[in-house]
A = this chain, B = another copy of it.
Amino acid sequence: MITILRIGHRPFRDKRITTHCALVARAFLADEILIDTKDEKIEQNLEKIRQKFGGKFKIKTGINWKKAIREHKGIKIHLTMYGMKIDEAIEEIKDKKDDLLIIIGAEKVPPIVYEKADYNISVGNQPHSEVAALAIILDRITKQKWIDKKYDAEIQIHPSNKGKIVGAR
């Protein structure tokens, strides 16, 4: 089970970035995303995508993030540009079967997150994007399984070099 925890979400300012985080979480095979601030719009958007494209991805908003971190039984990962190198971190966690909690912040993240995380992991030590960082770590954790993932869904897209081929259930 892979859970993403998004903290510091501000519905007006972060609407699109957090939506991208949630879509990436789903597309790269996480099981759910928890978002600290209540945001029904994002919940509805993701639920619409899930209904059309399939799967069991869950989204919950209005989450007490400190409690979510405290009560998580498995490995807690915090993505930050200050963290240890992703390849070394993946080497350490790859054979562990624990549930994973992957924490991504919006702006500045409180020190307690660094402290409570089992791993602070950097996806490169340059400033870029939590959307990209999440995709890269899920790519490594799932061992690229997202590439061939298919759902029994209303919309099914068939890969093609020259156009749009959309199937249906």
Which residues of A come within 8 Å of B, CB atoms? 16-17, 20, 23-24, 26-28, 49, 53, 81-87, 89, 114-115, 119-120, 122, 124-129, 131-136, 139, 144, 146-147, 149, 156-166
Contacts and interface: CB of A to CB of B under 8 A. Distances in A.
A147 B86 contact: yes
Contacts of A84: 159-161
B82 A114 contact: no
- Most B CB atoms within 10 A — which of A156, A161, A164, A166? A161
> Would you call the interface of chain A mostly helix, strand, loop, or mixed?
mixed
A124 B136 contact: no
Contact of A163 (B16, B114, B127, B128): B114
B124 A85 contact: no
Contacts of A81: 157
A125 B165 CA distance: 11
